[in-house]
Structure 1
Amino acid sequence: MGEGPSQAAHSARRRAIRRKAQRRHMHFYTHCAHWSVCRAGAAPIRWHRERWVLGGTALLLVLLTLVVIPAWASAMRSDPPAPAHTRLALPVPPLPPAAQKPQAPPEDWRTVRVQPGQTLADIFHGLGLSPSDLQRVLDADRDGQALRRIHPGDEFAFLLDGNGTLQGLRFDRDEATRVTLRFDAGQVRALAQARAVERREHIAHGVIENSLFDAGSQAGMSDAMILQLAKVFGYDIDFAQDLRPGDSFTVIYNDVYRDGEYLHEGNIVAAEFFNQGRRYTAYRFESPNGDVGYYSEDGRPLRKSFLRTPVDFTRISSRFTAARMHPILGRMRAHKGVDYAAPTGTPIYAAGDGVIKYRGWENGYGNFVVIQHNGTISTAYGHMSRFAPGERVGSRVHQGQIIGYVGMTGLATGPHLHYEFRVNGMQRDPLTVTLPKPEPLPAAQLAQFKRQNAPLLARIQAVDGRAQLASADNRSDRR
């Protein structure tokens, strides 16, 4: 049977579609018609580019099948159940007795720093402690001097309970020893703790241009050390009127460190001062009996019988004269002393060893102190703002001891010290009065003194040599 009309039409339409597809993709069939892995009657296989592409694709599919399918199967596999654990109750050993005790709370020590003019009784009173507490402390310390002679800047630490009762006191007996006192049920326990103290030496060199303070500051010295330098040479040099530009100094001094931390300024060990072309030297030396002082290079003590200036002053405001116009009274009047201008509250020192002969108010002088040094010599100090505590008429004082503080009581227009030097009751000029030279060290001590200071002298001379070379270089540069 032949094909029906519909089938014939369908067959014709398919042939037309094939012809259309062949015409549309003729370039592909033409290009790829010879692709075959094996053709009958053909020459041995020769790998062309097309075969390499087909082979690489097949190899890639095989590798993906071998890698991806096992990984997917592993990911789909569930983890095996975790093994069961067995818990056993084990006995715990008891804590040692020390660990069972509760830790004590930290103690609250209250530290108080001593202020100028303050006594230990003042400190106890300020904390609400009774005189009996103070007496217990004084009785408990075997070295009572550390508590009976306190100084500004000293520190005391107090341990008080909730009721304000004294439980403990901590203080420094000296630079190297800290003492802790404990008070418990009427019993006193004292613990002394040694502390590491060291002194670190420094050397400074300065040239005077404006003032000693400017030169010392530029040399790296503190104000306290500059004042100490002025005191060392204060017997021989009047730093208010004797200094000249070009004067120079070299100083070896030390600082005190405790437990590795800076504590305070130490002492001048050796010093040299050139003033108006004259050379002065000072070396610190401790004699066999424990006395410490400064001596010149030939072994003579620098400490004279009297201080030339008994106050750290800024300038001389009025000199010794037979006639001057009084700034308050407005008439000519003799001025039989020297006025040293200084800020109110500056300490005033005893010019020499002696006994207080007068201490009180004197017309014109205000608060006034007179010290009798021997049968013929006395010194007088006027216009004080207040007296040093603890001293009275008849008290013995030592050279350099504080006897009062600068003020402007009496007839004064500004704060200053009026200082008089009297011989048999007659005033003499303190700046020009002649005093005898002290005797040098005994022969045995003098030999020890020179052996001790030979290295210091060599160091000072080395610094002087470098300073002279630097000065010569500067002069040549200016030329």
Structure 2
Amino acid sequence: MLRAAGFEDSPALTVQSTDGEIPQGRELSFAWLSGTVMTGLTSVLLMGAALYVSFQGQDTFSTAYAALQLAAPRIEQPTATDIMAKSSRLRPIAATRSDLEIIEAAIRQNVDGREIIRNQPFTRIRATLATTATSLSADAPAYDPVAILNKTQPLKVASLDIATDVYGTDVDGEVAVRQAAMPANFVPTRSISDQSAAEFVRGVAEATFFTDGPPQALAYASFGLSNNSPTPGVADNLLTGIAENVTVMPKSTLGADKGQGRTERFLTVREVGPLADTLVRNGFTSAQVVMVENTLANLIPAGGLPAGIRLRILYGPLTSDPNSLVPYRMSIYRPDGTQGDRHIATVALSDTGQYVVGLQPDWVEFPEEDVEQINVGNLPTVYRSIWETGRKHDLDNDTIERIIGMFAYDVDMTKRITAGDTIEILETAATPDAEPELLYVGLNLGGTKRQLYRFTTPDGTVDFFDPDGETGKRFLNRRPLEGGGTLRSRFGYRIHPIFKTRRLHTGVDLAAPTGTPIYAAGDGVITYYKWQSGYGNKVEIQHVNGYETAYGHMSRYADGLGVGSKVRQGQVIGYVGSTGQSTGPHLHFEVLINGNLVDPLSVKLPKDNVLAQQYRGEFEQTMAQINDLMARDPAPVSVAQAN
């Protein structure tokens, strides 16, 4: 039956292909078999590697093919309004302002007993706080509230005799003014004659007694009074003031919990300058600048980018530095030309970390103003944003730290900024003999503007005061531990993490690694220094004017302290731990006013220093002069750094 089906008896297969007696086709070749197996394995490995790279999320904005093309083909696409491709919803866009201007004013200054009037330049900065943290501020020091204390101390001796006494008229060169006593025989000319004065009095009297209507006379009208008030002389609405302790939050913060994403920036080069200056101010490192310049060596003029050139920079995160964004791609466009013809060149970051020439990205209509895409996940903290903005405008580190210290007691520096927050700075211009000196800082966060003016008292002490004559420094620190900690639980009712019942949380929990130093929030005397149930190792400090602070869950106390010890603000009193009823290492911090518990992060705290009343008149004059400088038009020689 097998033979009938086509089967037959045949010799067995063999690898002895040299056997001539074996019929052809019965030999096995090890070379053929191994080649077939190796081909299959190689194919599997190559396909697996390709799939692995694809699913790792690596972005390639340039290829070897793109590197061969210096000019991108024209892209025929409809005008897009969304600068992020493949998005299901429009991304919010914020106009950015970044102006550095030189203003000049005639300043009156006393030099060696002589009054000199001369023109003096000032540097004025008006900028939107950076909404993207780049490598420009990557090396900024970690936020440490106690270290900021040293930056808020008043200067005992003025490092420079800064004159802000603005003279009413501009002068050419320098004018020396000498004051002398009026001669005894000098009689000033009359402004009006006796006859004109008599006619004025007679006219007022006739208008008063010989008219049918009510007399016409000058009178004072208070802004608070209203004709609709039911009671004469009583205002119908006198409740005015400034909102205190208001926190402005975005309408939606869903993106804040996600990782950093891509964002895009559109800007205009305002004046001719080296390409490197523009790149550095926009987050390129020195090594990246060299790569970009080498890549675009044949496309960029030797003198730098001409004024009016438009730049489009795409930023994205790196795995090695999740807190900073790096430039993924930069495109350069001409200010005129038709769609597609304006593109000059594009450089993009490859997977190997090199910037190479890339294809033109999808066309979008350029906005008139400089704008940047808002990504909630990318918004930096106030602390990081001030560093980023200061570095962008070439402020030195000491000045940036001074600015942060001036507002650190009123502003939670660990909170994220709101898109559109701004900062204003006024400095003296740098000279060969002196460094710039800070005169004024205005910080606008969430619609609330805070202003601090430099003022020098007759004894030579220099400090910054708000319009009410108070410094930004509070007598209590709201986050009294190294680095400020991470806010884990706020003041108020909550579900207790251990007992699972709804209880009042009497303070705030600031998480930090075990052993992190804890500081005294202000000057005072220790009244409690031992274990307390629930709090573990606890310290209580009595301050002036009925203020008390408490510190719980310490791992250990600082040596040499006890009940009755006097401590100063910023002095180490213990170290972070997890003693008592705690689920992890953190500081439980409480503030009491006259025995009543309050929210340490929002309660209004008294200022540490207030300007003496005898200096108020001179201080108000200084404020008016600085405000005049902030309102002046820039000098003909100005630097508007939108880049």
TM-score, normalised to structure 2's length? 0.33
Higher relative contact order (CA 8 A, sep 6+): 2
Q: Which has the higher strand share?
A: 1
Structure exhibiting the larger radius of gyration computed from Cα positions: 1
Q: Which has the higher helix share?
A: 1
